[in-house]
Amino acid sequence: MSIRRENPARHVEIVGRVDPVTRNVPDRVDDAVRAAHIAFRGWSGTPLDDRLAALGRAADAIAGELDDLAVLLAREIGKPLPDCRGEIGFAVQHLRWVIEHAPAAYADRELDDAQGRLLTVRKPYGVVVAVTPWNAPVILAMLKLAAALAAGNTVIVKPSPLGPLTVDRLVRLLQAHLPDAAVQVLHGHAALVTALVTHRLVRKVAFTGGEDAGRAIAAAAADRLIPTVLELGGNDPAVFLPDAPFDDASMERLVMASFATAGQVCMAAKRLYVPRDRAGEFVDAYVAAAARVLVVGDPLIEGVTMGPLISAEARSRASDLAITAMGDVVDLGREADGYDEQAGYFLHPSLVVDPGPDSALIREEQFGPVVPLIPYDSEDQVLAMANDDDLGLGASVWSADEERAFAFARRLEAGFAFVNTHNRTGMSLRAPFGGVKRSGWGREYAEEGLAEYTQTCVVHAPAAFRAGGAGLSPTAYPS
């Protein structure tokens, strides 16, 4: 039976279908992995410049279909059309950034001096499995594909069943410019992921998604002693220090940092901490900003900035978090013309002021358009509250004094701390991104993201044993 993708803004509309691997899963996986393994021998042996040229042609092809891909993405996951154009454009930009920086990142490094001759080589792993989520499927697939393929690996992508269509098309565009089986896409569910991760010819796994799936992937990979890159969930605090300005531009950035993609973003601002004596001022500024920039409706309608949630289950969970939070619920934003709440999985965004400290809204990742505002009395108190979470993906600090913000940010338990912004407006291609604590390990973006897909291999001739060397005792330690 095919995987059928409905439009979450109009759930009676079927956007498309893909054929999953559900029968003879081990055999189908074995065929795909063996083909990728064979392709790896040729692709990794292709000169780097030629690999990058092929990826450059693929980047041009993706850019040429940006508008069509954006419409498909908006229809299958409910993200506003301008955001979809932005995501696909950013994916192309990232691929081109990798192409530009790969020669330096993957270059051999050689020292030949009085200590000897040392050659350091960056070598690809082989077959890489990339398991991707639905909420930003194009860029989160490209973060894995670009670096892995540039390094000489081959890649099998397993997209989320909730967002398979645009990723499938992305892979097809790449395939047109790469050798057979260098990049493949397989659709399916948990059994397919298990079969891929446990195949003896798979050498590395990259995953972005939820903690439960990440734990299962990590356990299966650990059993085979293969490395992983895991970018898991976040419960990101946004801390407003006592001197933080509540100006219009800052508040608008914060609103969209929480409610882009209806809050279904791992690095969204999910816990807002504000000085108690300024909480009323903050709420007024935040509500006013939301009225200006937060427009709920069908993602294909011009001017809409927040669409539906991905499913009825996601909507129900987010709604329950608001109801059970024991705080004052403030409705946010406005509705687009023709808004029909019953047509899709819409939920009106809200701010919950001063919820119970042990409420699920604070303790759990919401992944929906419901955000708590927590007043605090001192910087030590807010630091303790911000760090009192098992997750540690992102965080932000807001202050009129940049040095003060950086000093506070150093004390946060987060893999990425933004200053005076949050979420994608604070990202940079040169800044490595990833989590600490239970938010995962490994990094994407920047040189660290490129390095994730290569292994450091060394050739060494100590000076003592080169021609004319003095030699060493067979029991000597290196000096």
> Of these residues, 266, 365, 413, 444, which one is catalytic?
266
Q: How far apart are CA 251 and CA 433, in angstroms?
A: 24
Is 457 an annotated catalytic residue? no
Alpha-carbon separation of residue 120 from 105, 216, 456 (angstroms): 12, 34, 7
Q: Which two tokens stand for residue 4?
A: 């059928």
Q: C-alpha angle with apex 248: 242 to 249, nearest 5 degrees? A: 95
CB 231 within 8 A of CB 444: yes
Q: Which two tokens stand for residue 377?
A: 């009395």
Query: Residue 198: which residues within 8 A CB-CB, separation 6 or more?
Result: 220, 223, 224
DSSP state for residue 326 in the 8-state scheme: -
CB 150 within 8 A of CB 106: yes
Residue 223, SS3?
helix
Query: How far from the centroid of its chain's Cα atoms is residue 68's Cα?
Result: 23
Q: Which two tokens stand for residue 9?
A: 């803004």
Q: Which two tokens stand for residue 449?
A: 């993201």
Angle formed by the axes of helices 137-151 and 66-77, nearest 10° = 130
| Cβ burial 180-199 (10 Å sphere, 16+ → b, else e) | ebbbbbbbbeeebbbbbbeb
Which residues in 297-442 belong to E strands, given as ranges? 328-331, 334-335, 350-353, 370-376, 391-392, 394-398, 416-419, 436-437, 440-441
> Of these residues, 231, 252, 365, 413, which one is catalytic?
231
> What residue has token string 């990590």?
218
Q: Which two tokens stand for residue 156?
A: 């099998």
Q: C-alpha angle with apex 207: 204 to 212, nearest 5 degrees? A: 120
Sign, Cα dihedral of 295, 297, 302, 304: positive
**What are residue 185's phi and psi, to 5 degrees?**
-130, 130
Q: Which two tokens stand for residue 430?
A: 């040169």
Is 84 an annotated catalytic residue? no
| Catalytic annotation, residues | 231, 266
